[in-house]
Homo-oligomer: A and B are copies of this chain.
Amino acid sequence: MTTKQDAGQAVLDAKTRLGLTWAQLAEALDAPLAWTTSALLGQHPIGKSRAEKAAQILELGPAEVAAFEAQPTRGALDDVVPTDPTIYRFYEVLQVYGPTIKELIHEKFGDGIMSAINFKIDVDRREDPGGERVVVTLDGKYLKYQWG
């Protein structure tokens, strides 16, 4: 049985071997870039036609197609606190700015949350005189605490 993790590893290997980018894969699947990346890494189920399309481009087989379609058990971090510096910085942002985000959501919206389900994320590059910048946009539906 090929798990979604196995399939994600196969995607990384094939992508390197074939010299493909996530942007090319997203375009081929006609899907948003970050969704494509996370789905191929195993965090979302992929519809049949896109799963087959992805397997074709990446020269993978039916086992990977089945894994792409499967419902994931989500959660991609090896450790509760991530050790990889590129990922850790986002945990650090949460340590430093978590209560700030909470205060501002409450001030601008009321008692509620940003949905992580009805949600999209983007990673962009912005040129700046002080050097290029990584801009990550988290965009989720506001969900108000509401009893029933």
Contacts and interface: CB of A to CB of B under 8 A. Distances in A.
Interface of A: 1, 9-10, 13, 16-17, 21-23, 32-35, 37-38, 41, 43-45, 66, 69-109, 111-121, 123-126, 128, 130-148
Copy number of this protein in the oligomer?
A: 10
B133 A90 contact: no
Given A41-B100, A89-B116, 10 more contacts: A17-B66, A43-B97, A77-B98, A85-B117, A86-B105, A89-B140, A100-B123, A108-B124, A114-B134, A131-B141
B90 A76 contact: no
18 contacts: A22-B104, A23-B107, A43-B100, A73-B99, A74-B84, A75-B82, A77-B94, A77-B98, A79-B80, A87-B98, A87-B99, A89-B140, A101-B123, A105-B134, A108-B134, A109-B132, A119-B148, A133-B141
